[in-house]
Structure 1
Amino acid sequence: MKPRTRRFVLASAVFVVLLAVWWMVTALRLVPETYLPTPGAVVAAFVESNTCRPISEGSSRMVCGEFDYFMWQHLIASLGRIAVGVGAAIVLGPIIGFMMGTIGWMRDAFDPYINFLRALPPLGYVGLLIVWFGIGDVSKYWLLFLAAFPPLVIATMNGVRGVKQDHIRAAQSMGASRLQVATKVLLPSVLPELLSGIRIATGFAWTTVVAAELNNGIPGIGGLAYQSGTQLQTALTIACIIVIGIVAVALDSLIKIISRLLTPWHGRV
């Protein structure tokens, strides 16, 4: 059996076992349904969150999705916020990281603060961002930006510092200009580290989406998970968690594919 096939079979077997245990626990009512609904209830909550239904039995009035939005609309809203926050970090992070990697006094001056910001949990400063920027999307953009910015700066800085000086001197001795050294030597060397940083930053920002949408987070998949939890709609909360996890894996896989396409030489002798 091929390694990839073996991994798929093992992962599928674990999924089936976990699903069976979940079903058994709920079927035997070992845990109240308020805390752990059945798999069928979670599927039903997912379906209801993406369809329209009568507001009550026999009523002609219809309610669509949850909190006036389908789940896929909540998801798109969160992905849009991620795109803005992480996108800004992808633009600014490598620039700052490159400068810190090449200019010694900048690295000495700002490295402690970048690491300080990286170590802060998002919930530690989300309240401050709301005070500064309100409960609208601006505070959410800032929160996601601050979650993604430090990993990108550190990854770029480490990539620049990891470039061998012999390669730079060899290019210069052959008459390469500064621009050619930057594009032909530094960029290919830094790119694998930068793409790894983007992968880490995107994952961390996605895990921050619930914190970003704690206040006025509708529409938003994190806001939907939070609001449904406060209203004891446990099945819907679990459905949101599953969707958040699936999207996280999909984003990570997409970035890995892009990394392999852009840096086919990385990891090869």
Structure 2
Amino acid sequence: MASSTASGSSEEVPPLKADPATSKPRNRNPLRFAALRWTALRLVALAVLLGAWQLVVVLEVWPRVLVPSPGEVWHQFILASTVHDGVRGYGDHLLIEHLAVSLRRIGIGVGYAVVFGVPLGVAIGAVRPVAVVLEPAVTFLRTLPPLAYLSLLVIWFGIDESPKIWLLVIAAMPPIAASTAAAVRGVPGDLVEAAKALGAGRLPLLGGVVLPSALPEILTGIRIAVGVAYTSVVAAETINGVPGIGGMIRDAQRYNQTSVVIVGIIAIGLSGIVLDALMKALERVLVPWRGRA
């Protein structure tokens, strides 16, 4: 008995299994590591770009007045963003103030474009005679570059805020109207017929079936319109555009201040990325079913 007990005690005890509820997985959050990996890749790409930029400056491929160094651009960014030696930013306005004025103009222009463009697109997509009359006009405006009608707007409205806002409205409205019309035409016929069979009238059919089904494409058109308005803001602010990021760029170009121009371009690009991310977040809130079966 003793020998059996001794032999039994000498046997190797198997390890206890970890409780699945308390055990920690080796990779707790794969999405987090993937995000870190892609962020690192972006930082490496940015470092390579800055290194190539500095190399071009050091080799003097172009004169400094045409291609300033990254350090000079950074220095100008600091000057444009602060009060220094009694000078407030650029043109007596800080960089963030220039950017805020431009964003306000874009917001007003795109807001009016949504107010007029969505109903226009619904009418074009739902009513054939309206499409025959107005769709060519929308296409005509969509193909015009902003500078083509800026001078006419200045003649009509002067050099204050009105021509800038109107230019952004005209630039942003056609993409919204075109995408809305295409979305309305793409509403599944089965949904419409089912709603009619249940006794839905025109207004309930429009508000309860057509618009919700078309909403994802309408939001895509609004995103495109915001991008078009952003690319048009420099043209809109060529006339009396200070304060404004486009006016700042235009004013700096007149005096060959290339570093200020680059600062303005970078500010537009970075704020555009943020604005597009906000639009994507809005899409996820308003149309959470998009991309799902």
Letter in 2 for 1:34: V
Q: Say which of 278, 282, 286 aligns to 1:254.
A: 278
Does residue 33 of structure 1 match 2:33? no
Alignment of 1:15-26 (within 5 A): 15-26=46-57
Does residue 123 of structure 1 match 2:144? no
Structure 2 residues without counterparts, runs of 5 or longer: 1-29
Does residue 212 of structure 1 match 2:243? no
Count of residues in Structure 1 that have an aligned counterpart in Structure 2: 262
Question: 2:183 and 2:117 mapped to 1: Cα distance?
Answer: 13
Letter in 1 for 2:227: G
Aligned residue in 1 for 2:190: 166
Alignment of 1:49-68 (within 5 A): 49-54=80-85, 62-68=86-92
Aligned residue in 1 for 2:208: 184
Question: 2:72 and 2:43 mapped to 1: Cα distance?
Answer: 22
Following superposition, the deviation at residue 9 of structure 1 comes to 3.0
TM score, norm. by length of structure 1: 0.94
Following superposition, the deviation at residue 6 of structure 1 comes to 4.1
Write the deviation string for residues 232-268 of structure 1: whole angstroms up to 9, x where unpaired: 1111110110001111111111101101111111111
Question: 2:228 and 2:195 mapped to 1: Cα distance?
Answer: 37
Percent identity reads: 43
Following superposition, the deviation at residue 177 of structure 1 comes to 3.6
TM score, norm. by length of structure 2: 0.86
Following superposition, the deviation at residue 102 of structure 1 comes to 0.8
Write the deviation string for residues 160-181 of structure 1: whole angstroms up to 9, x where unpaired: 0001121111012123343332
Write the deviation string for residues 134-158 of structure 1: whole angstroms up to 9, x where unpaired: 1111000000000100000001101
Aligned residue in 1 for 2:247: 223
Does residue 12 of structure 1 match 2:43? yes
Question: 2:92 and 2:184 mapped to 1: Cα distance?
Answer: 48
Question: 1:17 and 1:95 mapped to 2: Cα distance?
Answer: 47
Question: 1:246 and 1:158 mapped to 2: Cα distance?
Answer: 31
Does residue 112 of structure 1 match 2:143? no
Following superposition, the deviation at residue 185 of structure 1 comes to 1.1
Following superposition, the deviation at residue 7 of structure 1 comes to 3.3
Write the deviation string for residues 196-239 of structure 1: whole angstroms up to 9, x where unpaired: 00000000000001000001000000000111111111111101
**Which of these two proteins has the greater Rg computed from alpha carbons?**
2
Aligned residue in 2 for 1:46: 77
Structure 1 residues without counterparts, runs of 5 or longer: 55-61
Letter in 2 for 1:50: S
Q: SS where residue 208 of structure 1 aligns? A: helix
Letter in 2 for 1:25: V
Aligned residue in 2 for 1:203: 227
Aligned residue in 2 for 1:133: 157
Question: 1:155 and 1:7 mapped to 2: Cα distance?
Answer: 32
Aligned residue in 2 for 1:57: none
Q: SS where residue 200 of structure 1 aligns? A: helix
Question: CA RMSD of the aligned region, Å?
Answer: 1.3
Question: 1:155 and 1:14 mapped to 2: Cα distance?
Answer: 34
Q: SS where residue 89 of structure 1 aligns? A: helix
Q: For structure 1, which segment, 123-132 or 9-18, has the greater mean C-alpha deviation from structure 2 after superposition?
A: 9-18
Q: SS where residue 182 of structure 1 aligns? A: helix
Aligned residue in 2 for 1:157: 181
Letter in 2 for 1:252: D
Aligned residue in 2 for 1:238: 262
Question: 1:158 and 1:132 mapped to 2: Cα distance?
Answer: 33
Question: 1:259 and 1:13 mapped to 2: Cα distance?
Answer: 30
Question: 2:220 and 2:254 mapped to 1: Cα distance?
Answer: 36
